Each structure stands twice: as C-alpha cells, then as structure tokens.
Structure 1
C-alpha cells in the first residue's frame, strides 16, 4: 500500500487507461529523495502487468554510468532488442549502433530519438507500452536526449513514458515540454499511519521523534526506526527528512567492518552490478565474498542471481561520500584491474575507473581515455564524447596533446548543441594549439555561442580573425569561414563589420589550385558587396549553381544556403533548400530548423502562404523539441508575418514586418511607412527587408513624397536589375508606374514580367494596383477584369485582407456582384479531434500525401492513414477532397 499518494496514483492510472485507448502520455515525477517516486513507478508497473497486459520497459539511472554512452537506453530496450529490425533500415541501424549491437558512425544527436520513437510506435501497435525511467537525473546524456525527444512526440500512440527525477542533492533533469507531477511530503496523519504500519513496536516517544524528524518523508519514516533499533538514531546530525536518511545511511556504512565497507564502496563505484567483477575487485583490496554478509544483514546491499544492487540510491551516494580519497582511488584501481575488457562497454568502464584512479597526468592513461571516446555504444554520443575528451585532456602531460584533446571536446560539445560549453572548451584549447587549421575550427566553434546569444558582431569578428591564418593549410575552411563571417556581419547590421569581412576576403591568400576555396571566397566577397549595396550577384549565384556546395559538409551547406535568397533566384533557392531539408529530415539532423526557417522565407516571398505556414510551424516545433530557442523564435516571427498576409489573428505582439503587412493591406499608408522605415532605414538593412523596399517606394509615392520615393527606388534598382529576375524588373516597373506621368506602359511591363514569374502574390497585387489606377482615372469597365482576376488569385493564395481590398475596389468599379468578403467555407467542428489529428488533417487538406505528412511530422505513412481514418467520421467527411471544402480552424 502506498500512503498519501491517491491523487498521484489516479493520474498514473488514467495514463495507463489512455494508453489502452491508443493515446500517449509523458510525465516527470519530481520530488526530494525518499518521497515515493520509485514506489509509484513500481505500483504503476504492477498495475500495467496485472490489469492491462501492457509491455513494461524500465531503466534506472546510475551515477557511475553517466559517462557510458546510451547506458540507460540499453537497459530500457534490452528486452525488446530483437524487435529493432522491424524498423526501416536506417532507423534500425541507428538503434543497433547506439546499443552496441552493430558498428556504425556516430549520428546526429536527434537520430536516436527518432528511431526510439519509431520503435515505441511499432511496439504500441501490438500492445500498449509503459516505459519507466527511475533516477532519471543520473541517466547518461545521450540516453536522456533520445528519451526526452521521443517523450515529447507521444500523442496518439499507446505509450506511457514516466520519468522519476530527484530534486536537490542531484544533477538537474530539465525536461522542457513534458508535464510535471510534483510529490509533496506527507501530512502528519498520513505519516503517522505509514509509521504505525511499518514500525508498530516503536515506543510512543520514539514515534513522535521519528514523525518530527522525518517531516513527512516516506523513506525517512521507514529508515529512522531501523536506525533506532541499531542504536544510531541519536548519532544523527541536526537534519530533517531526506537529509536525516542520507546521514543515517552514511553512519550505517561507516559502522561496517572495514572489508565490508570496502565491498560496499566497490559496488557503489562499479554500477554494473556483476557479482563476479565485485569479488575479483575485492580480492585486490583484501576482501572476500563473505564480507558481503554484514552489509546484507543491515539492508545496505542486495545480492541475488549473481547481481549486487542497493535498496535505495542514497546508499550508493553515502558509500562514496564516506570514503576517503585514498579509499576511492584504491577502489577504482581494483575495478580497473578486474573488468574483463572483452566488450566495448567493459573497455569503456575499465578506462573510466583507470582515469579515476590516476591522480596526476599520465599519457598512457590519457591515450586510453581518448580511445574510449570512439568506442562503446554509438561510438560515444556527442555529449558523452565531449566529457571523455575533456577527461583525457586533464590527464595529458604535454600541452600539445592537451590542446588537441580539448579541441576534440569542443567539437563534440558543439555537435551536442551545448554551445556555451563548446565555446569554453575552445577557448582553453586555443592557447595550446599551434595548427592553424585546428585553430580555425576552434574559432568557428567559439563563434556559435555569441551568435545564438544575440551578438553576431562578436561572432563575425571571431570568424574573420580565425580564417586568414588557416588559408595555407585549410583553404576551403578559411574561405568558408569568411562566407560565414560575412553573413553573420550582415545579420549584425553594422557596415564596418561587413567591410572588415570584405577586406579579409579580398586579401585571403589561396594556393593556385584551391578551386573550391576560390569559389567560396568569391561568393563571400559577392555577398559582402550585395550587403553594402554594390554589385556582387554573379559570384554568389555561381556558388549555388556550381558543384562546390555539394562537397561541403551538411552543416556547412545549411549555413551557406542561408544566403541563397540574396541572389533573388527564388526558384533555385526553394529547390536547394527543399533538397537539403529532405536530406536532413531523413537523417533527423539538428540543423533542420535552420533550413526550414530559410525555406519558409522563400515560400513566403513566392506567395505560397499555406506552404510557408506549414514549413514555419514544423521549424518552430522541431526547434522547440531540440532545444534551439533562437530558431524557434525566428519561426514564430515568420508565422506571425504569414498570418498577417492571411488576415489571421496573431498571439502576443506581432513583429514589425507583420504589422507593416497589415497596415499595407488596410491601406493605412502613414502607419505602413512608419513601420517600413523602422525595417529598412537602418545602417545595414537585412536581406528580407530589402524585399520590402518596393512597398516603401510605393507608399512614399502614394503619400505624395515623390522625391523620397525616387531616391529609395534608385537605391534599390542596382540589386534588382543585377538579379536578372523578371519579378524584380516587374516590381521596378510597378514602382515606377506610381511616379511616372505616363504609367500605362509601365503597368503593362510590370504585369507582363510578373505573370511569368514565380511570385503569384506580387502578380495579384500588381493586378490590384493596375485595376485601382484604371478605376481612379475614370475607366471602371477596363478596371473590372483586372480587379476580378486579382480577387480570384488573392483568394486562392489565402491572402484574405488583400482579397477584401480587391473586392472593395471591384464594387467601387461598378461590379455589384462582388462579395464584400470571401465566402466562408462550411465550418467544421474540430473539437473532437486530437491535436495530432488536427495537424494531419490540415496538411492533408493542403494536398500533402501520407508520406509527405509523415516526413514533416516524423510519423510513418501508416500512422498518418490511421489518424485520417479516425478523423473523417468526426468531421463528417469521407475523403481528402471533402477536406478542402470545409473550414479547418487554425491551431
């Protein structure tokens, strides 16, 4: 019986019932040590097995295994390892590599989470699944990443994932996006009932003392009576609750005979729990199997079926804390000598113990530690590899070796997404590394943290300073760094930094045969000149149409493609970004949000509003799930701007771009100009604001400020002409029409160029502008066809405010049949749909196939079909075609 946890038990019981109905739940149980988290997990596991026939998988975080890659995941999936091969080949390979059952290259830190989610889906299709992760605060980082990634995606799959994490005296276990269940201390009445049931023989005064000192902590209520019976209760220090228990365990361990205490310490430091290993290690310390007896008798150790375990993790902590440094070093050395080393895991464990037993720099040990970063499960996940390389660096006697290993640690930390740690490691390594190519790589790593913290100027200078020294040894890296520096400098909005990047680029010394490096250097120079308002299109465009891009690493391609939009070739930009997004989506790479953000920008500029919103939503969701707040925020801003084009409400304060779009749609010229000035009249306007410059020209002209409009148009014309794009020429002609005394031929040119371009929204707006001009100049019959076509195009594109403007103009031109606003589709009641069903239905209504929907949502086509099958009757439809005829509310 679990005392005082009726409400919490009911929450968990409801989660089990939801799983039986095909719905997923993830939950983190939090509370102090001994508060009852493990008891609740054991109770829900019993219920799952007895009442519902759920598949129960469990893992336990062990402090000494935090540096063993995927140790927690291996424990969780061991019972179902034979089912991994039901997954697609790529996902199966990822899990086999992580679990050490196959060799393979280390993947992106999100691939394992995707594969785990797919496996849980496959298992849940047969029967509901319950995953229990106790002491999650001790789970290794690579397993935690994968588990949390999968947990955040549990929606309409019959899987429950429960984490138990300790508050206080333990590492933090952040779990953003997962609901928390906090376990409070027991009230006095419940505590008294628990104590009476557990220790009915206690004298009244002792019971009162225990109740007071336990302070509602269940474990303390159980352990303090044991301490009383052993005569140790009065020895405890001034502490309450879990601290009382922690001190009590420490006292009980300290009172063991020396050889028994040594065995308990060995068991605490080993973590593996293998009795044979423990006995072999004990022999090196003069102990034997018989010395386990006192620890077993006092309830400090359990030995069953060749395994040794602790009744509570606090005992493990107490054993380590009460040992002296010399005792811990001796125990680690004994374990290092006793592990067999026949498997990659054993080798990693042995090296970890060897490192812990080494108290001064030792190259032979450092070499083994470095080697261990490349073996074991998953060939060491990035976060674990960073810690391992850092440990090897601390053991390195030679500064050069120490610097090289710190550089490896910095790279691994960056790949793990921990940019602050990566930057700190790179700074340490830089003073010890002489190789210019390695130093250049460290500069790239160092630049990540300030960039994501909103200091692009600092990041750009780090890249500039790091590039030139590397030119002779790593020309491609040096040239790429300057391309990255130039883009970062442009983001900073400071012309001086862009000029510094251009000066460094022009002066970059490259070997004669460095063809790829020259292409990257020329593209960097072109990008800098475009940012500064000078010709630079040709070299930048050549990068995107040549072969160099495909020879870059995937992350570098993502960085380079951020600036394809500066060429103005939006068709090429969408092709390249879509191609890279597909590649990243298949590999579940962490750079996917960045690519989807850039793809959103292109689709927005092309006027494909529905596609742009779907892409931005995916970018935001994946960025949040992968803990990339920078890209999540940018995706939200893009979604707000798209909503402004579509006339949908925006939560919170919309960004200036969204407010400018709304003002333009309403015809509020003064408000629109004020906002456009904020966006474009800066020291160095960004590339996206350059696309708004035509709107500023036209707004100035319509407000009667012809001279200002002419100056703004003259400043924009060189870039627009240099792009060579018909849409750019068409927009220049449209803007010129607002300033010319004879605008008719300019309107004709604008319409002719935009009608064949890849910007249908701008074509429709040009039809609207032309029709409005015809109406205002007394030719309503000539205006009506243009306005009617504009209204139809804008409605099809989903630009509701602009559709309303076109229809208002059409009515003003004498077309009394023009509706006042777009006819509302039949409203659909989506309240019965689950969030996942709503998302799937909306994408299906936009015309995506099951496979395309699955790729966006990281679901299998079969699961997508299942969601649609469930959603159709709830909506009263029977096909995809009918979905397009009903109103699907946003969200």
Structure 2
C-alpha cells in the first residue's frame, strides 16, 4: 500500500516490535512527524498487519471537545466501559482505569494499541494516557502513539522510544506522486512538485488533484501559488472549491463540530444522508465510520475552518450549541464560540462551569473554559484576573509552558500592582519548573527591587524553587528568612516560608534539624499549602527526614498527596510522591520507595515538570543499582543527566552524582565512583559544605578512595564527616556512617581499631530504618576477620536478602576465601601448625605428642586461633583453614579422602 512506500525500515522495526510484544516484551513507541508525513498511514498499515489484535484510536476532541473523550475512546477500543472514565475529569483515576483495561485486553492475547494524532486529544485525556503508559508494566502489548513535534507531544514522548519521520527519498516520492496522478505527468512538472512537496506524502498525494490534466502534462503553466509543505492545508483548497454548496456546508459543520457525531449532523442537516454525504465519500474527503463522519485528514479540518468567514463560524457554533444531545459543557463551549462582543452573563456561566469542572478534578478542562471567559469579559481587571487563574490551573496540572505564555500576556498589559506581583511570582515558579531557574531567579530579583513591603514576603518565598534547582542553599536561607520576616504570622506564606527555611538550614547544618521541625506544622493547612507552593512536599519530606522523623514525614506526605490529588494539583502531587519515595529510601524501605518514585517520575514527565524528574530518576536508579538491575539504573541515570545538563539544574545534578557514585561502588567500579563523587565534593567546595545526611555520599567517597589506595585524598572528606558527626544534634545516620568510613580508612593500619569502630557503627544504626547501611557495616566487619565476623556476615546476608540487594549479597560470597585468607595470615607459625593438626582430626593430646608441646600450650594456641578466626569450634576452625587455601591442609584433607 502507498502508506508504506519509502518506509520499509520503519515497517520492519514495527514488525519486530510487534513480534516482541507477542512474546511478552511489549513497549511504547512514539512516532513524531510534521503534518502529512505519513504517521497515520503507518498506523493503518500496522493495524492491517496485526488484524483483530489492533485497537486503533484517532484523537479528535481538541480544546472544544468533551473532557476525557479521547480516554473514553481508548477504553471502548480496549473493549472496556467508557462510563467510569468520563464520570470524573480526573486524569489520575482515568489512568488507573485505562491500565486495568489494557491488562484485561491482553488476557485474551497480545494487543496493538495504536493512538493517532495525540496532539489532537483533549488535554485531560492526553495526561491520563501519558500516565497510564508510564505506570504500566509492559507485557504482551505494543503501543504506538503518533503526533506532531509540538511541545505538548515532545513532553508526552520523553523517556519513550521515539522515531522521527522525515520526508520520503526522491525515488519513493516520485512513486507516490505518479500513483496519485489521474493522468500522465510531465517529468519537469513532476520535479517541480517533488521540490515543493519536500517528500511529504500528503502533499504528493493531493497536489495532483489541485491541478488540471493540462497542467500535469505540461501543456499549461503551473499556478504560481502551488501549496507548499509548510501550508499543507492548502492542498485541499482546490478540492473544497469544487464541492457543491450542500456538500461544503456538511463538511464545514463537521469541521466545526470537531467530533463529527453523525446523529447530530443528520439532525441539523436532514438532507445530508443523501447527495451531500455521497459526494464527500466519493471525493475521498470524508467517510462515515462508527457513527462519526471522519474527515480524510486533520489538515482538511484546518482548510475548511480557515476558509470560513467569521460570521459563518459563529453561526455554525450557535447551531451546535442548540443541540440538546450534546453534553452541556460542549454546548456552552459552542455558545462561547458563537458569541459576539462582551457578554458578562455568559462569562459568569463559563466561570461557574469551570469551578464545577475543577471540583470534579478537571483542571485542564476548567482552564480551557476560563480561556473562553477571558475572550468574553469586557472588564480589563477581570480579564487579567481570569488569565492569572487560567495560568495557575494549567501550571498546577503540569502544563508549565502554557502557563508561562498566559502569564506573559498578563504582564504585557497594565494591571493592578497586587496582581502584577502575583503574576510575576507565578511566572517565575513555572519558568523554574519548565527548566529555566536562572531566568526565574532574575525575574524575582527584579520584582523584589520594586515590590511594596506588603508583597515582599511572597516574592522572597518564591525564590526557593529556582534557587533549589540551582543548588544555592545559602541564598535560599537568606530569602526564606526574609520571607518569614515580611509575612503576616500564621498566613499561608509565613507557614510555607518556615518550612522552606527548616529544609534549607537542615541541609546546611543537620544538627539543627530536630529543633527546626518542632512545632513547625502547628498552623498547617495542606490544601492552602499545595496551591501556595507546588514544591512544599519536598520541603516537608527533606526537613523531617534529615531530622530522622521518617514516620512523621510519611504520615504528613501521605495526607498531602490526598489533598493534592483531590485538588487536581498534579505539580504538587509529583513533588509529594518524590519526597515520599526519598523518605522511604532513607528508611531502607526500597519497595515502597520504588512505587512512590515510579509515580513521581510518571507525573513529572507526563505533566510538564521534567526539570524535577532528575531528582527522582537518580533515586530510583540508586535502588535499581543496589538490586543489581544495571540496565534499568543506566536508563534512569542517562535520562536524568540528559535533562539536568540541558536545563543547567545544578542542584539536581548534585543528587544525581551522589546516587551514581553509590551505584558505581555497588558493582566495584571505584574509579567511576570517585569521578562522580569528586564532583559532589567540588560542588560543596564552591557553595559551602552541606549536611552529609542530605545526599549521603561522603562515606562512599571515602570508601572509593581507600579501595584505590588514595588515603590522602580521602582524609579531608573523612575529617568533614567526623566533624559533623561530633557536633551537637548530629543525625544517627551521620554518627554511625562516620565511624563506618573511619573504619574503612584505618582498616589496613589498625584492624582491631577498625573493628571497634564498625561495632560502634552497627550499634548506632537503627536495625530497621538504617537496615541497608547497617548491613554494609556488618559486611565490612565480616571482611575484617574479627571474632564476630561470621555472625556479622549472617546478619548482613539476612538484611541484603530482605532488600533484594543482590550485588551487596554477592560481596559476602567473596569473603569465604578472601576473609579467611586474611585472618590466617594473622596466625603465628605455632598457631598455624596446631590448626593444621586439628584439620587432620587429631585431639589436643595427639597434637601435643606430635609437636612436642604440652596439652595446655596446645589449648592456649587454639584459644588464640578461635579468637583470630572468629571460630567457635574445632570443626569451624578446620573448615576456615581449608577455605583459606592452606596448601598443606588441603593436601592432608584430600589425602584422607
């Protein structure tokens, strides 16, 4: 078929992907390309190849359609029920329902879910689908999504496999062109059309229909305004001009209606089922499919609507608004599109409907309804207020880029001073979350220079987001302190600013963390907080976690996530889940941490908050590495570093490096660990030392340096760690980890002292909350060959098995020979000779006779042997001698067999 002419390589790749899905290894692939480039044709081709296992959905609702309409279409395509999906405008709930529908569909066999033109989906559906795709564990399902390379789709595609479709090569383009020509085409004419089409299949297919046979043959000159690839909708202009008035009227009504519901169209145009429908179908411009009149291509809709006079568009919208069969929100949207001039009454209706939509969880739908109200109010101040509200709704739901644009429009017009400050602070927030923290900080500094004293608290509090992304802790402390001072006590800004300040000071000086969080949440209102600062969950989680109040942190963050979900504040929800994941990770609850981080990453990437995704990607990669899931860890690190580098978010990079260093150390890549963690050390040298408890990398750098024999470089890192551990209020983790790091540093020169430090560390660590780091200390104690080595190894083995920390458990296996060999080296010659006789099975009396010693001397030697080897019996000591590779003992043992 023409749809895959010139696309053999892509067709082969999709075939391989489908075969993999049939074998249980599904995936998501996003096809990006300009209009008409062949995305839909590839989906149609794949649908034919996969037969009845294909579920093809075309997105068509756009901004005027009913919220969740595309998600409902996907549910129906999966043989599910659309009603639960549309019952609430809640993308989070819809994502769960769609994931369940996918699972149910695959129970009967592999499925190819093909979603066309995701850019045309209503925003709530697009978010729901993105979340569903990021949450699903792929088995026998292949998902192909197509879209134009616009910001919303590029955001949608982040982290998935992406294929970009370019124009066809010259030979393939000529084949498509000749196949589309109704008459022979002159070579010179063909070359001209190939040039203007730029290999675009849609242009190649439809350009001949815009020309006469004489023009194609070269007997007449080509028109000077041949449609170019950048104005592809014009390829349909000639075909539209040839339609009869009734057919063109039906097509125009279909284009304005968006969804093309045939029952609605037929009710408005009773004669449509006759000649008009036939004409559209025979011309190839439209087809009746599953109760909808579907246009041949989305660009045909653009061509039809752009060619309508304004009064004609308003008339068609008013007709549609009068159709009672349409949902109330859709009718209201058509009323707004059909209105003329300011209409405060209609504006009030739009605002009221938006409030109801928001209460149902539809932040995006509410924002779109308010957008229409902006166009209809005649009052300048109300228009500005509505624009700010629209931007805040869009930002909270994750569309930071769109929110920025709307706020820019507000600031471009004269507005009241108070509204100006609110717009600036909101714009800076979404600039930072959209990956431009430096621009956001500069904007707030300029605002602070001109703001009234009453507004200074809000401006200073807003600094925390961009400064945190840049890793400027001292500046956060400075501005948060100013925010508290300039805010009315117990006001939302005052409460949130104190939480920010507690986080920042704790990050610098962990000894103050416990005092800072005491009474901090007495004036707490979660609903107000999440709308005041979308990152408040991170501040809460970090402040309480540095203070090692993990259970309190989990309780507060869980409650906060419930409020954020209920308010449709997905920016806050992503941050809260990330903070929950980090809290669980610190408390060695890796399964809970992974679940929360999965959700945080999905929300961050699906709702336009990619600037914060590296924080959560690094933490999840750390868990993957601890568990030996190297490919998954590498994928998370790669994406995290790519985003952080692109956006110059140095704060995120600091945490990524800390986690990457830990991951490298887990697999014995000490040089790589040093490379990552040295950069963390340099970051702190430039901006000031941070609490070791914050990113937990200092002990890892000491261990990496020591393993490479670079004790001199490890010394200042260890000294800093010991200094913080000795300060009043130091966290339990830092006090224990400082001892663990010191034991590593002194292991070669003072083995007994190192063992004492490790025992102290193990005693300080909490057996549950510090399970992972405590097991690492037990591993080191087992490796040291001390008298408690075997019991330490057993406890470490149990802990690593509980956490599924396979690479760390593997290190214990290496100790059976290495540790025993080290301990054997500590035995004196006399002790080793006695032990060899024990291994031969001799009694103390027999050994005394053989070695010309007294039985008491033999017993004393054995006592020292047991202590040095950590053995508790003759049998265990003999086993350790054999495991240690003693050649004489091994020879004697084999000789006895």
Structure-2-length-normalised TM-score: 0.66
Conserved? CA contact 1:213–1:240, under 8 Å: no
Cα offset for 1:784? 1.5
Conserved? CA contact 1:644–1:659, under 8 Å: no
Sort the Cα spacing of 1:275 and 1:12 in 2 relative to 1 into closer, same or farther, 3 A: same
Conserved? CA contact 1:606–1:758, under 8 Å: yes
Cα offset for 1:412? 1.7
Q: Does 1:96 align with 2:90?
A: no
Sort the Cα spacing of 1:399 and 1:43 in 2 relative to 1 into closer, same or farther, 3 A: same
Conserved? CA contact 1:263–1:292, under 8 Å: yes
Q: Which 10-residue stretch deviates more, 673-682 or 143-152?
A: 673-682
Cα offset for 1:814? 3.4
Conserved? CA contact 1:136–1:163, under 8 Å: yes
Q: Does 1:542 align with 2:527?
A: no
Q: Does 1:299 align with 2:283?
A: yes
The separation in 2 between residues aligned to 1:807 and 1:615, in whole angstroms, is 40
Sort the Cα spacing of 1:810 and 1:314 in 2 relative to 1 into closer, same or farther, 3 A: same
- 2:300 alignment counterpart: 315
The separation in 2 between residues aligned to 1:221 and 1:455, in whole angstroms, is 45
Matches within 5 A, 1:759-798: 759-763=770-774, 784-795=786-797, 796-797=799-800, 798=805
Q: Which 10-residue stretch deviates more, 493-502 or 219-228?
A: 219-228
* The one of 560, 572, 595 aligned to 2:540: 560
Cα offset for 1:720? 2.9
Conserved? CA contact 2:457–2:483, under 8 Å: no
SS at match of 1:720: coil
The separation in 2 between residues aligned to 1:464 and 1:807, in whole angstroms, is 65
Sort the Cα spacing of 1:490 and 1:713 in 2 relative to 1 into closer, same or farther, 3 A: farther
The CA deviation string for residues 459-506 of structure 1, in whole angstroms up to 9 with x for no partner, is 59959989x999999xxx989995994995697424244133224314
Conserved? CA contact 1:362–1:396, under 8 Å: yes
Sort the Cα spacing of 1:808 and 1:437 in 2 relative to 1 into closer, same or farther, 3 A: farther
The CA deviation string for residues 211-244 of structure 1, in whole angstroms up to 9 with x for no partner, is 8636676655654554556878656435478679
- 2:67 alignment counterpart: 69
The separation in 2 between residues aligned to 1:716 and 1:628, in whole angstroms, is 36
- 1:720 alignment counterpart: 729
Q: Which 10-residue stretch deviates more, 116-125 or 700-709?
A: 700-709
The separation in 2 between residues aligned to 1:504 and 1:40, in whole angstroms, is 55
- 1:821 alignment counterpart: none
Cα offset for 1:115? 2.0
Q: Does 1:182 align with 2:176?
A: no
* The one of 815, 820, 824 aligned to 1:814: 824
Matches within 5 A, 1:33-182: 37-45=39-47, 52-54=51-53, 56-61=55-60, 68-78=66-76, 83-84=80-81, 93=84, 95-97=85-87, 104=88, 106-107=89-90, 109-126=91-108, 128-151=110-133, 156-165=138-147, 175-176=157-158, 177-180=160-163, 182=165
- 2:370 alignment counterpart: 389
Q: Does 1:249 align with 2:236?
A: yes
Cα offset for 1:634? 2.4
Cα offset for 1:330? 2.8
Sort the Cα spacing of 1:756 and 1:506 in 2 relative to 1 into closer, same or farther, 3 A: farther
SS at match of 1:561: helix
Q: Does 1:569 align with 2:549?
A: yes
- 1:505 alignment counterpart: 484
SS at match of 2:81: helix
Sort the Cα spacing of 1:277 and 1:463 in 2 relative to 1 into closer, same or farther, 3 A: farther
Sort the Cα spacing of 1:423 and 1:194 in 2 relative to 1 into closer, same or farther, 3 A: closer
* The one of 310, 313, 328 aligned to 1:331: 313
Sort the Cα spacing of 1:805 and 1:236 in 2 relative to 1 into closer, same or farther, 3 A: farther
Sort the Cα spacing of 1:545 and 1:412 in 2 relative to 1 into closer, same or farther, 3 A: closer
- 1:345 alignment counterpart: 327
- 1:273 alignment counterpart: 260
Structure holding more helix per residue: 2
The separation in 1 between residues aligned to 2:754 and 2:165, in whole angstroms, is 69
Q: Any unmatched runs of 5+ in structure 2? A: 642-655, 828-897
Sort the Cα spacing of 1:685 and 1:291 in 2 relative to 1 into closer, same or farther, 3 A: farther
The separation in 2 between residues aligned to 1:755 and 1:30, in whole angstroms, is 51
- 1:655 alignment counterpart: 657
The CA deviation string for residues 692-727 of structure 1, in whole angstroms up to 9 with x for no partner, is 668899999985999998787555544535x6x5x5
* The one of 592, 597, 611 aligned to 1:630: 611
- 1:820 alignment counterpart: none
Sort the Cα spacing of 1:527 and 1:221 in 2 relative to 1 into closer, same or farther, 3 A: closer
Matches within 5 A, 1:690-705: none
SS at match of 1:565: helix
- 1:870 alignment counterpart: none
Sort the Cα spacing of 1:272 and 1:816 in 2 relative to 1 into closer, same or farther, 3 A: same
Conserved? CA contact 2:400–2:609, under 8 Å: no
Cα offset for 1:272? 3.9
Sort the Cα spacing of 1:582 and 1:27 in 2 relative to 1 into closer, same or farther, 3 A: same
Conserved? CA contact 2:31–2:144, under 8 Å: yes
The separation in 1 between residues aligned to 2:300 and 2:422, in whole angstroms, is 48
The separation in 1 between residues aligned to 2:352 and 2:94, in whole angstroms, is 23
SS at match of 1:453: coil
The separation in 2 between residues aligned to 1:642 and 1:22, in whole angstroms, is 25
- 1:399 alignment counterpart: 380
The separation in 1 between residues aligned to 2:277 and 2:772, in whole angstroms, is 81
Cα offset for 1:112? 2.3
The separation in 1 between residues aligned to 2:552 and 2:515, in whole angstroms, is 15
Sort the Cα spacing of 1:524 and 1:19 in 2 relative to 1 into closer, same or farther, 3 A: closer
The separation in 1 between residues aligned to 2:190 and 2:541, in whole angstroms, is 66
The CA deviation string for residues 800-855 of structure 1, in whole angstroms up to 9 with x for no partner, is 698669986664343799xxxxxxxxxxxxxxxxxxxxxxxxxxxxxxxxxxxxxx
Cα offset for 1:147? 3.2
The separation in 1 between residues aligned to 2:157 and 2:774, in whole angstroms, is 47
Sort the Cα spacing of 1:760 and 1:337 in 2 relative to 1 into closer, same or farther, 3 A: closer
The separation in 2 between residues aligned to 1:706 and 1:193, in whole angstroms, is 70
Conserved? CA contact 2:736–2:762, under 8 Å: yes
Q: Does 1:493 align with 2:472?
A: yes
SS at match of 1:180: strand
Q: Any unmatched runs of 5+ in structure 1? A: 86-91, 98-103, 776-782, 818-891
The separation in 1 between residues aligned to 2:180 and 2:439, in whole angstroms, is 66
Matches within 5 A, 1:436-515: 443=425, 446-450=428-432, 453=435, 455=437, 458=440, 462=444, 482=461, 485=464, 492-506=471-485, 508-510=487-489
Conserved? CA contact 1:28–1:163, under 8 Å: yes
SS at match of 1:58: strand
Matches within 5 A, 1:657-672: 658-659=660-661
* The one of 376, 379, 390 aligned to 1:409: 390
Cα offset for 1:417? 1.3
- 1:857 alignment counterpart: none
Cα offset for 1:655? 2.1
Sort the Cα spacing of 1:399 and 1:248 in 2 relative to 1 into closer, same or farther, 3 A: closer
Sort the Cα spacing of 1:13 and 1:481 in 2 relative to 1 into closer, same or farther, 3 A: same
Sort the Cα spacing of 1:119 and 1:808 in 2 relative to 1 into closer, same or farther, 3 A: same
Conserved? CA contact 1:657–1:679, under 8 Å: no
Conserved? CA contact 1:444–1:462, under 8 Å: no
Conserved? CA contact 2:461–2:493, under 8 Å: no
The CA deviation string for residues 845-872 of structure 1, in whole angstroms up to 9 with x for no partner, is xxxxxxxxxxxxxxxxxxxxxxxxxxxx
Cα offset for 1:116? 1.4
Cα offset for 1:138? 2.6
Cα offset for 1:450? 1.9
- 1:366 alignment counterpart: 347
Rg (Cα) greater in structure:
2
